[in-house]
Each structure stands twice: as structure tokens, then as C-alpha cells.
Chain A
Amino acid sequence: TQLLEQSPQFLSIQEGENLTVYCNSSSVFSSLQWYRQEPGEGPVLLVTVVTGGEVKKLKRLTFQFGDARKDSSLHITAAQPGDTGLYLCAGHGSGNTGKLIFGQGTTLQVKP
């Protein structure tokens, strides 16, 4: 069974601080995705990483896929209150399937 472990589960920081969220597994994933979910809403896709060692940047967010495609990280620089939300990593095992395996999520609170 493929599992994704996210850490930390909760993070409360001040505006302007940097943070990193980790997503780890003992299994290889063909791709990993990061979603952000706000209360009362569905998850919204932030990025998909597919190549081992890949780094993608989305404004102040940097996403990295591990060389072995078993782990990923999300780094936020100079966090803002608008970054507050639930961050979820999710992976596809293999093949074309709508079955995503989700991590438990990281609840981020950025205080002004």
C-alpha cells in the first residue's frame, strides 16, 4: 500500500517567515501534486512534478521532487496571510488513473 506522510501537520508562523512542508513515502510515484484547500472549498491544484529532481517555482512557492521520486517538498518564502490554508500532497502510483493517494495535509496559519 502506497502512503504519503506529510510533516508538519500544523504550522503557525508570522507574516514574512519562511517555511518548508515535507511529503515522504517509501514508494515511488510517477508524479506528485500539491494542492491548497481553503475551508468550505475543494482542493485547488498548485503544481505537478513528474521528473526526479525537478524544481518548480510559482511566485514565492518552490516545489521539489526527490531524485528517487519518493518525496517532495514545498517551500514558501516570506509567507503572507493569504497563504493560510491546508496544503496537501498527492501522488499517482502508476498508469492513467484518477486515484490519488493523499497525504494527511499541513494546516498553515500565517499571522499578520
Chain B
Amino acid sequence: KAGVTQTPRYLIKTRGQQVTLSCSPISGHRSVSWYQQTPGQGLQFLFEYFSETQRNKGNFPGRFSGRQFSNSRSEMNVSTLELGDSALYLCASSWIPGGSTGELFFGEGSRLTVL
């Protein structure tokens, strides 16, 4: 079956702009989590959605937001982009939050560059 699909794969924005990233989970998966990956900080949890409700949120400013739709697809938005927002944004899905024993299935990520 198809894996987690993230779009776009690559994008370049300038400071002050906003960006929306999309994630389609594996068919049947209802939980979606988002992570930010940078060389300095590694992978950091952004937020988690299940059944259209945000269940957990990481330690990121309010400029980072997300939502989940009834078909489990999720979007995340970053407003007023800063240079430090340049990162690989990864989406992960599971059937239920945390999977049966915590397994998450990651997409290939969206590479955001802020100039």
C-alpha cells in the first residue's frame, strides 16, 4: 500500500512569508504527527493529530500551526518565516496514536529553505 505522502518535497521562501505543507497518511491511519529536523537540533516533535483533534504539541512558537481533516490528511502552516525555520519537515502516521507499540511511518519530508 502507498506510504506517507508529503507535498511539496522542496520549497524556497523568503523571510516573512508563510508556508503550508501537506501530508497524506497511509490509508487507514488516523494519527498524524509532525517533526522538524535540523542539523543542530535533530528531530523535534511539533504536534500530533488524531480524529481531527490536536492531542500533543511540542515546544514551538505559535507561528507553527496545523490541522487534520476528516479524511486524516493533515496540513501544517508556518507564518512569518524566519531563517531558522529552514529544515526538513517530516510527517509520520500510525493507525492509532503511537501505533500498537509506538511504530510511526514517516514520509520523505518537505525540505523548506528560508532566504
Contact = CB atoms under 8 A, between A and B. Distances in A.
A104 B44 CA distance: 10
Interface string A7-40: 0000000000000000000000011010100001
A72 to B, nearest CB: 13
Contacts, number: 75
A50 interface: yes
Interface string A68-112: 000000000000000000001010100111111111110000000
Interface string B21-61: 00000000001110100000011110010100001101000
Nearest to A91: B102
B4 interface: yes
A97 B57 CA distance: 11
A48 B101 contact: yes
A102 B42 contact: yes
A42 B107 contact: yes
Contacts of B102: 30-31, 33, 48, 50, 92, 100
Given A95-B98, A98-B48, A99-B45, A45 B103 contact: yes
Interface residues of B, number: 29
A101 B43 CA distance: 8
Interface of B: 4, 31-33, 35, 42-45, 48, 50, 55-56, 58, 90, 92, 94, 96-98, 101-109
29 contacts: A31-B101, A33-B102, A33-B103, A33-B104, A35-B106, A42-B4, A42-B92, A42-B106, A42-B107, A43-B43, A44-B106, A45-B103, A45-B105, A48-B102, A50-B101, A95-B98, A96-B96, A96-B98, A97-B97, A98-B56, A98-B92, A99-B33, A99-B48, A99-B58, A100-B33, A100-B35, A100-B45, A100-B102, A105-B43
